[in-house]
Every structure is written in C-alpha cells, then in structure tokens.
Structure 1
Amino acid sequence: MQTKAHSTDHVAAPERAGHWNAVIAEAYFPLQLTFRDAGAFQGRLEKGSVGAVSLSRLQTQPLRYERNLRHIAGTTEEEYLITIPRRAPVDFRQLGRDVRCDPGGFIIERGDEPYRFSYEAPNDLYVLKVARPVLAEKIRSPDRHCAQVFDGRGGMGALFVSMAQQVQAQRDVDPRSAEVLGRQLIELLALAVDGQAGGGEGVRSAVREAHLRRAEAVIRRSLADPALSPDMVAEACGISKRYLHELFAEANSTVSQYIRDQRLIAARDLLQLPGTMPMSDIAYRFGFSDQAQFSRLFKAKFGQTPSGYRQQHAARGG
C-alpha cells in the first residue's frame, strides 16, 4: 500500500493547529479540532488506499474532533469512518448515543451526521474511511451500528482488527492485490458486526433479524445456483415465503432485488480478477438471461458497462 505521511515534527509551534486541521480535513473530512496545547501538539498520520477503502494510522496527543452542521452543509457523498483505538480509550457521541470505546474495540461513525470524538491521553488509532455504497453492500443499514462499540479482541472482530493493522503496514502492494485486500477488510468488518449486532433489541425483533441474516447468507452462497429464488430461500430457512418477503420489506428491499444486487456485486468482483472469461459466461454464471440484460443492470447499478469496468480495472492494474 502506497502511503502518504504527515507530521508536526518540522512545523513551527504557531502554525501547528492550522497545519493539523488541514491534514485531518484532507485525510477524512473537515472537522473542528480542539487542542489541549496547540503549540506543543505533536501528531503523525500515515494514509493510503486499498481498493475502495482508505486506511490510515493516526498517532497524536490528546485531541477533540467535532463534526458540525456547517461542515456537513453541501456534502453530497455519505462516508463512514471505522476507528480502532490501540493505546487509550475514545469517547464518542452521535445520533443521541454516548459510548466509550477502549483499546481492543472499534466503532463506526457516520460522516454526514454531527458527532463529537475525543481522547484524553496520547493515542494510536487505525481508521478506515469507506463510502456508503461500498459499506452497504455488505452491512445492511449501516446507520444502525453507529455509536456502538464492537469487540475486536476475539472471533471475527479480532481478525478484522489484526488485518487492518497488517494491511496498513504493507508497502508497495500492486493495485490488483489492493482491490482484493480492500474487499477482504470489508468482508471481515461485516462478519464482525453481524456477529455482534442486535444485543439491545427485543426478543421478537432479534429473532426477525436473525431470520433475515440467515436468508441473506443463503442467497450469498447460492448466487451461481440457477434455482435460486424466494421459494428456495424460504425453504432453506424453514420459514414461509410470505414471512420472508415481510423481512426484506422491513429492510426496505425485496428478495428479488437483493438477489439481483448480490449477483451484480459478485459479477463485478469476478471482473476484477485476472483472466479473460467471456462476458456472456459471467452473465449466465450469475443467472442473467443474456448478456444484454446483464450489461443493462450492471450499468444501472455501477454507472458503467461490464466491459468498460473490466477495461478500466485492467488499465489501473497494469
């Protein structure tokens, strides 16, 4: 991963606050920073990208960050930060929730909603920045998980935290490998969140959430199966088709739409891999009736044709 580093080491004391405000705005988005002692402040930030994921390591003295309405005015792109503190606890407030995340955990922050984030001791943080469309492909309704502390000390949470640190430390990763690493990071994040979400819900909603997650898992592992349909999913989950449709309607989707979107995402990921599999084979592999239908739906979702996407990705990887 090619990284760009910023530091206060050679910045004059009177200029450090302005310098660091600019560094943070460029790495994440504009924020209001409150320093304990701006003149004596020290900070270092290393930032790079792996595919669609921006990954940075932020090491600073105590600091408070605030995202206010004036920062959000005119924002057109929804982005999320996933922050992993490694040295000291962080306090976070957003959407009416106050949480403290200790080292060993991680939190999700929505960039187009006001928030306050701070730590009272020198800290070392790993931060992922991800656009909403990328995150929402793997985590349904990501807003539900903002200002919630996730455990990064065991299971999938530990794998996600460990991989984020390892990837951030890599240097000179080629673009094609970076795409794969970025996707794997989001996959691990989704698995970690999925495994820990819902602890504060009532029994009824938790059961429905579990049924929906099971149905989504059945769909994702059956994308190449020509028999994939709402009937098949309902039978695999042991629920009625009517109940299945209710679950997806509550998530502002339909079963057929979710199947189609997941197939398009899988086809897009396949187009990123080396090789020359004919476009028609990719279309048929994921259940599209013909190449023209596949091309039309792909362009509607991703803004370009499959062949154009493949050519662009090949040029970037070469």
Structure 2
Amino acid sequence: MRYVVDTIGRRAAGDAWQAAVTETYFPLDTEYRNRHEFAGELETWSLGLVGVSRMKCDGVCYKRQRRHFLNEGDASLLISIPEVSEINFSQGSRSVKCNPGGFILERGDAPYEFWHGRPNALWVLKVPSASVRSRIGSADRFSALSFDATRGIAALFLDTVRTTIGRVGEIDDAAREMSGRHLLEMLCLSIVSDDRVLDSNVSSIRAGHLHRAEQYIRDNIKSRHLGPQAVAEAGGISLRYLQGLFQENKKSINGFIRDSRLDHCAEELMSVTSTATIAEIAYRWGFADQSQFCRHYRARFGCSPGETRREAALRARASETALRH
C-alpha cells in the first residue's frame, strides 16, 4: 500500500499523514514544524507477522499517549531505521538519538515521543511484542536503545530488510511469511549481541544467571519435563537462588514458562499459513488441558485463541485487497 501526502491539501495534509501513520502502525498524535506545507510518502508491505514500511517525509514529531493504547489487546514494537538524518526517541526515563547506520526499538504499550527535525527517509518494522518476548525476553530491557548496525549481524539484518522488500513482489504469501520470520530472528540476534540487554536492576553476575535461565527455558519450551528444578540444574544453581532471581524481577519461574508458551501459541495462531487446530497448537507448546490453555490465553492477551486466529485472517484479507488496488 502507498500513501502520498503533499502541500495541496493545506491543513488537511497533516491530518492525512496522521491517518496514514495510524493505519500503518497504531494511533498517534502528530506535530509539524509547518503543518500547511508538510509532504510525505509512505509505502507498506506485509510479511506475515512482520509489517515493513518505508517513509520519506518532512520533519515531524509523533506522540504515543496512554489513551492511544488503553483498549489495545496486542502490543507491538516498532523498529526504526533512519537512512538520511538523525532521529530522536524518548520513552520513560530514556532518551536516545540514532543516526543512519543504526536502529532503535519503540514499545507501543507505553507513552513515547519520536521526532526528526529534518526531512528523512526511514525503514520501519512493526512486530508483535509477544514474538520478540518469546525469543529474547521482555522488551523493557532494550527499548529506547540505539543499536549499531554498521557491522556484524545487525548490518546483515538491515541489508536483508532492503533486499527482501526489493524482491517482495516476486514471492507468494507463504514465502512472505517465512521472510518475515527470518527478519524477526535476525532482529533478535542483533539485539542479544549487545550486552546492554542484560537486566540492569541486578548485579552483572545475577543478571547473567537470570539471562541464561531464561534462555534455557526458551530453548526447551516444548519439553514436557521443563520446570523450575530442570532450569536450576541446567544452570548449576540452587532452586532457591533461581526463584530469588525471578522474584527480584517481579515474576515467577512457572509464570515465565507459561507466558513463554502462550507467546509461541499466539504467534502460531497469527500465522495465516498454519493449518494446525487450536488444540494441536496448545499441545505442541506444552499445554495438555485445552480449557486451561484458553483461560490462560484470555488472561494474557484479552481475547480467545479463536479470536486471534480470526483477526489474523481478516488482516490478511484486508492486506491482499489493498495490494490488488
């Protein structure tokens, strides 16, 4: 889908840009240096779980207010990649600048401000928070950080974004979904290669133990034998010590395991190419009791598994219709 906003509409230009950005990402307020002379272009592509967009526009400030997400069920992350000039981002107690050659992450479930004073071109990815969380943990630890993407896996991630969109018109829906998952995996690898993602609320040694415990859980999430004792033994620490690590971060081991499994279930339910039943998906990710699974799922996401699947199908059909037009 492509949106073009120019100065012809006068005051309506700013309104049209805000409407386009809201439809592409989520509700936001916009402010402009000169609302009457704003111009911008926005193109969007769907890669299954991952939405990719390319925007070129004049200076603008986006504000995500608490009222914008109070009734939202599915939290999302935005990954912004500037290509022309500096971008600025502020969320919670963190403020960050990012130049071309890097990227930043923005949590959609908390207020923030994002701005660039000069004309800019950006790639922006929208990914479900649950999909990132199921791979590398909570976004709290790495949101509002600027990541260097001039070398290594992060540079490869940026190159792959550009290459994928260059070929997206040549591949079918299944290949697009697979490409989106590939971008998601590369994004997560880029993040965990940065030492700052370790939890800063505890000492470096305890943060390392917690990080390894969480990673062991993610690596073995399908195992029927996964439990607190198995995690402690794998990390070479006592169960009591392990429980203390999780308590310091206001969570329990069993709760972390359950929520990780739910995140994986949600991701599979959002896949438009998955043919598995809800019961099969629940069992695959460690839930033996479907009614219990549905209860936990609703408590975590505010909707039923069936509603998630139906909403994903509706979004896919809407995207397909937009591409045809």
The two structures have a TM-score, normalised by structure 1, of: 0.77
1:171 is displaced (CA, Å) by 2.5
1:227 to 200, 225, 228: 225
Structure 1: unaligned runs, 5 residues or longer = none
Give the aligned residue type for 1:118: W
Alignment of 1:214-293 (within 5 A): 214-266=212-264, 286-289=285-288, 293=289
1:277 is displaced (CA, Å) by 7.1
Give the aligned residue type for 1:24: V
Give the match for residue 81 of structure 1: 78
Give deviations 1:201-234, integer Å, cap 9, x for gaps: 7695232222222112222222343433322222
Q: Alignment partner of 1:103: what SS?
A: coil
After superposition, the Cα gap between the structure-2 partners of 1:305 and 1:32, relative to the gap in structure 1 and judged at 3 Å, is closer
Alignment of 1:1-318 (within 5 A): 4-8=1-5, 11-13=8-10, 15-28=12-25, 29-35=27-33, 37-61=34-58, 63-67=59-63, 69=65, 72=67, 75-77=70-72, 78-169=75-166, 170-171=168-169, 173-198=171-196, 205-266=203-264, 286-289=285-288, 293-294=289-290, 296-298=292-294, 300-301=296-297, 303-304=303-304
2:69 and 2:285 map into 1 onto residues whose CA distance is: 39
Q: How many residues align?
A: 308
Structure 2: unaligned runs, 5 residues or longer = 321-325
Give deviations 1:124-148, integer Å, cap 9, x for gaps: 1111234444443334332332321
Q: Bigger shift: 238-247 or 5-14?
A: 5-14
Give yes or no for contact 1:299–1:305 (8 Å, CA) kept in 2: no
Q: Bigger shift: 42-51 or 179-188?
A: 179-188
Give yes or no for contact 1:295–1:305 (8 Å, CA) kept in 2: no
Q: CA RMSD in A?
A: 3.8
Task: Report the structure number with the largest CA radius of gyration.
Answer: 1
Give deviations 1:23-70, integer Å, cap 9, x for gaps: 2233232222213x4454431100233233332111113x1314164x
Give yes or no for contact 1:32–1:65 (8 Å, CA) kept in 2: yes
1:265 is displaced (CA, Å) by 4.4
Give yes or no for contact 1:66–1:114 (8 Å, CA) kept in 2: no
Q: Bigger shift: 248-257 or 175-184?
A: 175-184
Q: Name the % identity.
A: 33
1:112 and 1:231 map into 2 onto residues whose CA distance is: 33
After superposition, the Cα gap between the structure-2 partners of 1:204 and 1:296, relative to the gap in structure 1 and judged at 3 Å, is closer
2:222 and 2:156 map into 1 onto residues whose CA distance is: 28
1:83 is displaced (CA, Å) by 0.8
Give deviations 1:229-257, integer Å, cap 9, x for gaps: 32222222222211212222233332223
After superposition, the Cα gap between the structure-2 partners of 1:13 and 1:182, relative to the gap in structure 1 and judged at 3 Å, is same
Q: Alignment partner of 1:171: what SS?
A: helix
Give yes or no for contact 1:21–1:33 (8 Å, CA) kept in 2: no
